[in-house]
Chains A and B, each alone.
Chain A
Amino acid sequence: MKLFAIRGGIHPDYRKELCAEKAIVALPLPRKLTIPLQQHAGAPALPVVAVGDVVGKGQVLAKAQGMISAPVHAPTSGRIAEIGDFPAPHPSGLTQRSIILEPDGRDAWADDLPAPIADPFKASARDIGDRVAASGIVGLGGAAFPSAVKLSLGTRHKLDMLLLNGAECEPYLTCDDRVMREYTDEVVDGARIMAHALGAPRVVVAIEDNKPAALAAMVKAAGAFANVEVVSVPVQYPMGSERHLTQAIIGLETPARKLTADLGVVVHNVATARAVHHAVRFGRPLVSRVVTVSGKGISQPKNVDVPLGTAVSELLAFCGGLSGTPKRVISGGPMMGQPLPSLDVPVVKGTSGILALTDAEVNEKPAGPCIRCGTCVTICPCGLVPVEMAAFIRKENMDGAAKSGVMDCVSCGSCSYVCPSHIPLVHYFNYAKGMINAKDRERRKTEQTKAMVEVRAARLEKLAEAKHKATAARKAPTETPGEGKASA
C-alpha cells in the first residue's frame, strides 16, 4: 500500500523495550474502587445507584446524560460505599464526583447484562451503536471520546474506510502493542463490527513498524478477511494523531474545522475495537483496560489489565512500587500525558499508561533564551511557528497567538521536546488555549447576561404598560385604549 508523507515530527527515545515483551497480567481485585462519573469527553454521567446498593459486575452505576456522554459500569461486584468528591487523575489536583465501590471478591457479572448480538453483521448500525453507547465505550487511545458518537458518523457521511489506529507513537506505551499481539482476533472482529456499523467497506489497520510482532499477528489474523488490510507505517511521532495518520494513509489533509469523516475516514483505536467486540459478542461493558506501567522509576514495568477505578498507588504496588523518587509520575505517554497530582487518584478509561520517570529520563533544565534555531518550526506537524506563538504569549498577546494559530496546535509536545533552550513551548500553548477559552466563556456569559437584561426590561415595560392600562381603565371606563397608550 502506498503511504504518504506527513509533515515534521520527531523521533523521541521510545524506550518501549522496558515493557514490550511483558505479557498482559490481570491485577488482583483491589479493596476499593473509586469510579469517577466523568471518564470521558462530554457531560458527566448521572448516578443511578445509591449508597448501600449491592451491584453486579457490569451493572450500570451512572447513565449517560446529553448527546456526548458515556455511562459508567461497576468494574466488579460489590457494594456502593460512598458517592462523593474525590481527587481526579488530573494535573489541577481538583476533585470530581465519584462512586466508591467496595468489591465483594466474587467478581460476579450482573444477571441483567444485555444479550450478545448473535450476528452483528446482520444487525443494524443503530443497534450496534446503541450497544456501544450502552457499554460505556470511549476512545481508549487516551482522548476518551465516546465511541458511539464516532460510530454514528456513517449516517451523515459516506465512508470509505475504518482506520484502526495501532500506531502507538507515544514512547514507553506498549498496551496497544500487547493487545494486538495477545487479543488479535478480538481486535479484528471488533474492527469488522465497527466497519459494518459505519458502513465502511474497508478496514485499514495502521501499525508503526517498531512493532514487528504485532504487525505479523495482525497480518495473519486479517488474512481471513478480504476487506481488512494491515499496513506498516514509519516510526514518526506523532503518527498516531488522527489527522496525521489519515494523511499518511490516504494522502489528504483534513481541512481545519472538518472531521476525517469528511474525507471518508473514521479512526478508532485498536483497544477500542476489542472493547466493541466484548460489548457486542458478550454484552459486556467496558469495566477494565490494559495499562502500561513503565519508566525507570518503576521496579517491575508491566502491562496490566486494570479494573477501572483502581488507585494508581495500588497498581504501582503490584508493579513492585517505585524505585527511588521519580521526578514525574504521569498518566498517559510522556509526550502528551498529564502529570498526576498524587498516587491516590484512580485509573480511568483514558489511562493508557502510568509512567514514573526519573530525572535522567525527563531531562528537564531551566529555560534559556531562544536562539531562533527554527527546529520547532521545522518539526511542527501542524505547520505552525511555535517560536512566534510563544513570543506572543509571553507578552500576553493572546490575539496575536490566536492569529498565529495556537488553537490549531494539538499539543503533541514535539517542539518542547527538541528545543535546545528547553523553553516550555507547549506549556505556553496550553496556557494560551486555556486563557482564550476562558475569555470566550466570559464573552458568552456577558452576551447571555445582556440578553437576559433585555428580556427582563421588555417584560417589565410590558407589565408597567398593562398596569397602566388597567388603572386607566378603572379610572375612566369610557376612554379608548388608543388614548391610553398615547398618554403612557
Chain B
Amino acid sequence: MLMEVGISVGSLTVMGAALGAILGTAAKFLAVEEDPLEVELAGILPGSQCGQCGFVGCGPAAAALAKGEAKPNLCVPGGKAIAEALAKRLGISLDMGDHVEKVPEYALVKEDLCVGCARCLQECSVDAIIGASKQMHTVLPDICHGCSKCAEACPTEAIVMIPITPTLATWHWHKPAVSDHVH
C-alpha cells in the first residue's frame, strides 16, 4: 500500500518535473520576443492599424523600425511630428529629402453613391464614420485620420479621399528663398 503510494507519488513527481522542464524550455525557445524598443516605437505610432506604411499594422511597422528595415518617415497619417519622434527615439537623423511627403487626406462620402451598406463603419479604427445600415453615412473630417481603409472597403466607390489643403487658419509662410552661398 505504502509502496503503491510511493510509486504513484514518485512517478507523478518525475513526470511533473519532466513536463515542467520541457514546458520551461519550450517557453524559452518558442517565446514571442517582446522587444522593449518595439513597444516604445509602437507607442509613438498612432495605433490605428491603417497599413498605409505597407505593414499590416502599427505593431509590425514598429518591429520593422526597430530592426532598421523601415524608415522613420513611414507613417503617412502621422506626418512630420511622428517621423521626428521616431527618428529621435531611434537616434538617427531624419532625412526627408528623398521622401515626397504624402499630403494628409480625409475621407468624404459621396452622398449620391452611398448605399448604406455600413461596411465602412467596421473598417474605421477611429469611429469617424457616422451611419447605420440602410442609412446614408458621413465622415467626421476632424476625427478622420486619412487611412483610406473605408474607401477600399466601399463597394460602390462612394468614399473618396480628399487632400487636406491649407486654410487661412493653418497656412503659414514657406521657408524664405535664400541662395545657398549665403550661410
Contact = CB atoms under 8 A, between A and B. Distances in A.
Q: Direct A–B touching in the complex (beta carbon < 8 Å)?
A: yes
Contact of A448 (B143, B166, B182): B143
Nearest to B147: A449
Interface in A411-457: 421, 423-424, 427-428, 430-431, 433-435, 437-443, 445-446, 448-450, 452-456
Nearest to A429: B173
Contacts of A456: 125-127
Contacts of A430: 172-173
B168 A96 contact: yes
Given A94-B167, A453-B125, 14 more contacts: A366-B179, A369-B182, A423-B182, A427-B173, A431-B174, A437-B172, A439-B81, A439-B84, A446-B46, A448-B143, A449-B145, A452-B126, A453-B47, A456-B126
Interface string A366-404: 111110000000000000000000000110000000000
A340 to B, nearest CB: 14
B131 interface: no
A92 interface: yes
B48 A453 contact: yes
A454 B43 CA distance: 12
Interface string A93-108: 0101000000000000
A370 B145 CA distance: 42
Contact of A88 (B47, B84, B168, B178): B168
Interface string A105-134: 000000000000000000000000000000
Chain A facing B: main interface SS: helix
A327 interface: no
A428 B127 contact: no
Contacts of A88: 168
A469 interface: no
28 contacts: A92-B166, A92-B171, A94-B171, A367-B178, A367-B179, A369-B182, A423-B178, A424-B176, A427-B176, A430-B173, A431-B172, A431-B173, A431-B175, A431-B176, A434-B172, A439-B81, A442-B78, A442-B79, A443-B81, A446-B81, A449-B46, A449-B126, A449-B145, A450-B47, A452-B126, A453-B46, A453-B125, A453-B126
Contact of A435 (B126, B171, B172, B178): B172
A370 B183 contact: yes
Contact of B172 (A96, A438, A443): A438
Contacts of B48: 449-450, 453
Interface size class of A (residues with CB under 8 A): 35 or more
B60 to A, nearest CB: 16
A445 B145 contact: yes
Interface string B34-48: 000000000000111
A423 B176 CA distance: 9
B176 A455 contact: no
Given A431-B175, A449-B46, A453-B47, A367 B82 contact: no
A292 interface: no
A352 B123 CA distance: 51
A454 B47 CA distance: 9
A22 interface: no
A446 B78 contact: yes
Interface of B: 46-49, 77-82, 84, 125-128, 143, 145, 166-168, 170-176, 178-179, 181-183
A332 to B, nearest CB: 15
Contacts of A428: 175-176
Interface in A444-474: 445-446, 448-450, 452-456
Interface of A: 38, 88, 90-92, 94, 96, 366-370, 393-394, 421, 423-424, 427-428, 430-431, 433-435, 437-443, 445-446, 448-450, 452-456
Contacts of A394: 178
A38 B168 contact: yes
A96 B48 CA distance: 33
Nearest to B144: A449
A267 B125 CA distance: 48
Contacts of B175: 393, 428, 431
In the complex, the 8 A-B pairs of residues with the closest C-beta atoms, listed nearest first: A434-B172, A452-B126, A442-B81, A92-B171, A430-B173, A427-B176, A442-B79, A424-B176
B80 A439 contact: yes
Nearest to B88: A399
B80 A434 contact: no
A367 B175 CA distance: 14
B24 to A, nearest CB: 25
A99 to B, nearest CB: 16
A434 B170 CA distance: 8
B172 A90 contact: no
A439 B48 CA distance: 19
Nearest to A452: B126
Contacts of A437: 172
Contact of A367 (B80, B126, B166, B182): B182
Nearest to A398: B84
A90 B173 CA distance: 11
A439 B104 CA distance: 13
Contact of B178 (A424, A442, A443, A448): A424
Nearest to B145: A449
A440 B85 CA distance: 12
Name the residue in B46, B77, B179 with the highest tally of chain A Cβ atoms < 10 Å from its Cβ. B46
A94 B80 contact: no
A440 B82 CA distance: 11
A440 B143 CA distance: 16
Contacts of B82: 442, 446
Name the residue in B143, B166, B178, B181 with the highest tally of chain A Cβ atoms < 10 Å from its Cβ. B178
A424 B172 CA distance: 15
